[in-house]
Structure 1
Amino acid sequence: MDSIRIKNLHCLADTGVIPLRGINILVGANSSGKSSFLRVFPLLKQGLNTNKRGPLLWLSEDVDFGDFKTAIRKGEKSMMFEFTDKSLIDGVKFSLGFNIVVDGANNDFIDYIQYCFEDQKIGVKINSKGEVERISINGEDFQVTDVVVVENKISLLPSFYNKQVVEQNSHIRISPYYNNSAETQILQKIDDLLEHKLKPNTVNLIRERISYRSISKKEFLLVLQSLNRPVKWHNLVKDWTEENSDFLELNNLDLLSKAFLLIEEAGMSLAKSLMEVNYIGPVRATAERYYRRQNLALNVIDSRGINLPMFVNDLSEIEKKDLKEWMLEYFGFYLVTDYSGGHIAISLVNERNGEKTNLADSGFGFSQIMPILVMLWTLTKRKTLRRRRPLYSDNKILYCVIEQPELHLHPGFQAQLADMFISAVNVAKMNGIQLKLILETHSEAIINRIGRRISEKKLDFSKDDVTVALFNKQLNENGTNVTLAHFDDDGILDNWPIGFFNAD
């Protein structure tokens, strides 16, 4: 995801477009919508690979939005999510948005999908019966009567199918919808333009040669004009412009023929990205003196860090050494585990004196920060870590979503944590991974340390690697709940409210 926009979720009337960079800081007063925004990432993820009745799984172990009625902003009837992303299929940057509403039986469903790329725009209207009522291509409406949607558990969006095929084969796997009607219209249009003077095989060949997946109007026009044969076709289109009515009709029909496939691919691309969301909640598990070992292969730390001791204990010796060096570099201590009699004890070792202390006997802040430190190390080592998740393990973009990372930490410790955030983004980059941290915080120390590192210009880190989003219940002059602040080259925040951290 390159950006995200949300409308009518809890107190968020409209966040506006929020760009997602290496470090994304969410700040604001209590109940201003920061947590609601941040928890959208695990919310979207937890419904993937799950049999559910609607587009989102509102309640799960990680986050609980209740249901649509409790999640939607008071007085509103629809909720909107919009994303920009770079397609994993053909590298085309696209925006994908969808509205969620409820029907008469209070079942929520997606009633509108909008997909845009380059200068092309597709809109799909869906009714409560799961039927496509209308599809819009660049503002031109086309009536569709034979397309239905079916929930796709591995995607955010439903799949599109031929209505008759679904009714006849409801219990077996069926093929996605292909718009044969649009293809027929394209062939007819080409034949009409050529005044019916060429053979059907030639018309089919022209269609085959101008069929591309995702290109702009300008590129599509160049494709049409690049065909030198047949000569009649070349002479017909060589002087066309993007405003030519015949060109626009042909462009829209071409897009109509593949519109449902493009939307499905965009939805799958976004879902693939969301599968790499890693979430750390605001209240992490307190340390225990001993843990029962479970015979489970752990691939990721859970949102509360409950499985942290088992995760660390099961690392290889090489991985433990690497984790030790990672923690020593920034904090002067490291984790060790001892296994005996079916129990695991996890301890902190102080680098200065070698003193080993059970995590349960250390300050509460240590138990709260450990899941964050180990999670960051895990993500930066994604390509070399022995235990990678099999699903989407080749992804090069990872997300780490953390609520209040500074809890129970001294301001100096918070600043050190900010240094680790910067290092994690840089180390991941060196390992061929684009790591995006999304942090909801009240920490002045974290924000100031990031500004200081930008001003020093010593690291591979600049103002362009940071988004700072200020949340407010009241709408600003742009009609959104979020105002974007920016670090300048000297690490000073522009568009930052005076006295933001003052008590009065």
Structure 2
Amino acid sequence: MIDKLRIQNLRSIADSHDIELKPIMILLGANSSEKSTFLRSFPLFAQSVDKKLRGPVVWFDTSFVDYGDYKTAKNKYAAEQDGITFSYQMSKVDVAMRRNYYPNVEILNSDQLSEVYLTFLLKDDSKGTYIDSIIINLRAVSYELCVKGRNENIDCKLNGEPFVIPERFTFNFNTAFAILPSFIANKQNEDGDSAVALLTNKLVSIFKTHCSGRLQNTQRLEQILSFASLDKHDFFKHLKRGGGIKSFQKSIQNWNITTSEYNTIYNYYVLLKLNIVIDSINRALAGFYHSCDYIAPMRAEADRYYRIQGLQVQSVDPSGHDLLEFIASLKPKEKEDYDKFVSEVFGVTVDVSSDSGMKSLRIKTNNGDFWKSHA
């Protein structure tokens, strides 16, 4: 669930600050105060999560909205080094389950995603728009990932502290039906699970240095990573149990939560969970934007009547031109529910009148003062 949205440097919006999203909202403001820009950000991502893209966003689509390109979409007063930023406050994000070669390794507890704060920064180069940085704050851990101009390495901060990853990791910017890129081990292998495999092997190799040389079954060590919590103290208690491996338990018995080697293990552990976190957020964003219908601002037109095509219309198109056909298509019970909704929310009733193959829209206030025809 998306609870709040903040937009920075999109068109004339320098900073919208946090806007709480409700099932029914009314935006009030003077002309050219960017109400439409804020609303058009919804179909902007709705048209983006429906496609396989080379980046996170498609700036124009004939079916929805046209922002031109990144340069025209960016606030003209923003500094050159600044990008376009979107920030979300989310709650009760469902954990996405992905198949991989290490069963249970990626499992997260749903409590870990009960509160999610996401910020991503869009920038542009000769290849198009890309995500330059991602900040994800959860209850127990924070991720900060920056690619610094679409280079091959990711600068990583975990819980606010820089974490140097010896192996090379990068983003797979070619997103399919998603906004955030996946986290992969190298540019040659664009399978997101490669990062899982590499990090799992790294952790297992660390674990093995603390086990008896007689240990042959590394699967027992992999099971240590099936822990669901990201909390640093919880994982420490789990690690001390060592999957029941006595030599491992004995080797780390003097560790505490400040032990440097434990912190290295913990950082790799939370990094291992990153793709499932990103997958879960991507699905939440896609589900949210897929559920958004959009009607563009409707301007007065000279035509008073529209010709009847007799179409069975299930939803209103973004331009609103088929609103009359939509109302005419409603079944009696649907029309009753529609009238009740419009009356309660807007204080008017709406009807469609027909005359010799033409239709017009009539709006009447609830107190019955007037009818008015609209083209």
TM-score, scaled relative to structure 1: 0.58
Query: 2: distance between equivalents of 1:333 and 1:80?
Result: 38
Higher relative CO (CA 8 A, sep ≥ 6), structure 1 or 2? 1
Match of 1:471 in 2: none
Matched, 1:190 2:207: yes
Match of 2:177 in 1: 154
Query: 2: distance between equivalents of 1:145 and 1:278?
Result: 41
**Which one of the candidate residues 115, 124, 142 is aligned to 2:136?**
115
CA RMSD of superposed structures (Å): 3.7
Query: 1: distance between equivalents of 2:367 and 2:154?
Result: 69
**Which one of the candidate residues 324, 332, 350 is aligned to 1:317?**
332
Mapping for residues 351-390 of structure 1, pairs under 5 Å: 362=372
Match of 2:73 in 1: 71
Query: 2: distance between equivalents of 1:153 and 1:209?
Result: 32
Mapping for residues 44-443 of structure 1, pairs under 5 Å: 44-61=45-62, 62-73=64-75, 74=77, 75-77=79-81, 78-86=83-91, 87-89=93-95, 90=110, 92=113, 93-103=115-125, 105=126, 107-126=128-147, 131-138=152-159, 139-145=162-168, 147=170, 149-161=172-184, 162-165=186-189, 176-194=193-211, 196-197=212-213, 199-201=215-217, 203-212=218-227, 215-225=230-240, 229-234=244-249, 241-283=256-298, 288-293=304-309, 295=311, 297-298=313-314, 300-327=315-342, 334-337=349-352, 344=359, 346-347=361-362, 362=372
Query: 2: distance between equivalents of 1:313 and 1:4?
Result: 35
Select between 223-232 and 68-77 the one with higher mean Cα deviation.
223-232
Query: 2: distance between equivalents of 1:125 and 1:116?
Result: 15
State the shift of 1:26 in Å: 4.8
Query: 2: distance between equivalents of 1:42 and 1:284?
Result: 19
Superposed CA offset, 1:91-150 (max 9, x none)? 5122222222222x3732222222232232223333666744444434212154364514
The change in CA–CA distance for 1:109 and 1:329 in structure 2 (over 3 A counts) is closer
Conservation of the 8 A alpha-carbon contact between 2:52 and 2:177: no
State the shift of 1:199 in Å: 0.7
Conservation of the 8 A alpha-carbon contact between 2:13 and 2:34: yes
Secondary structure in structure 2 of the residue aligned to 1:193: coil
State the shift of 1:151 in Å: 1.9
The change in CA–CA distance for 1:122 and 1:240 in structure 2 (over 3 A counts) is same
Counterpart residue type for residue 69 of structure 1: K
Select between 88-97 and 281-290 the one with higher mean Cα deviation.
281-290
Structure 2 residues not aligned, in runs of 5+:
96-109
Counterpart residue type for residue 283 of structure 1: M
State the shift of 1:301 in Å: 2.0
Secondary structure in structure 1 of the residue aligned to 2:273: helix
State the shift of 1:207 in Å: 2.9
Counterpart residue type for residue 200 of structure 2: E
The change in CA–CA distance for 1:340 and 1:223 in structure 2 (over 3 A counts) is farther
Conservation of the 8 A alpha-carbon contact between 1:225 and 1:234: yes
Superposed CA offset, 1:306-362 (max 9, x none)? 211221222222212322344456777644446798655555578888x9x9xxx71
Conservation of the 8 A alpha-carbon contact between 2:143 and 2:158: yes
Conservation of the 8 A alpha-carbon contact between 1:84 and 1:95: yes
Conservation of the 8 A alpha-carbon contact between 1:2 and 1:83: yes
Structure 1 residues not aligned, in runs of 5+:
167-173, 368-504
Counterpart residue type for residue 278 of structure 2: I
Match of 2:42 in 1: 41
Counterpart residue type for residue 158 of structure 2: I
State the shift of 1:216 in Å: 2.3
Match of 1:2 in 2: 3
Secondary structure in structure 1 of the residue aligned to 2:198: helix
The change in CA–CA distance for 1:239 and 1:338 in structure 2 (over 3 A counts) is farther
Query: 1: distance between equivalents of 2:366 and 2:28?
Result: 34
Select between 334-343 and 117-126 the one with higher mean Cα deviation.
334-343
The change in CA–CA distance for 1:223 and 1:295 in structure 2 (over 3 A counts) is farther
Conservation of the 8 A alpha-carbon contact between 1:123 and 1:135: yes
Superposed CA offset, 1:151-182 (max 9, x none)? 2241112344553345xxxxxxx665433222
The change in CA–CA distance for 1:43 and 1:332 in structure 2 (over 3 A counts) is closer
Query: 2: distance between equivalents of 1:184 and 1:307?
Result: 57
State the shift of 1:257 in Å: 2.4
State the shift of 1:252 in Å: 0.8
The change in CA–CA distance for 1:42 and 1:234 in structure 2 (over 3 A counts) is same
Counting matched residue pairs gives: 349
Conservation of the 8 A alpha-carbon contact between 2:136 and 2:142: yes
Secondary structure in structure 2 of the residue aligned to 1:164: coil
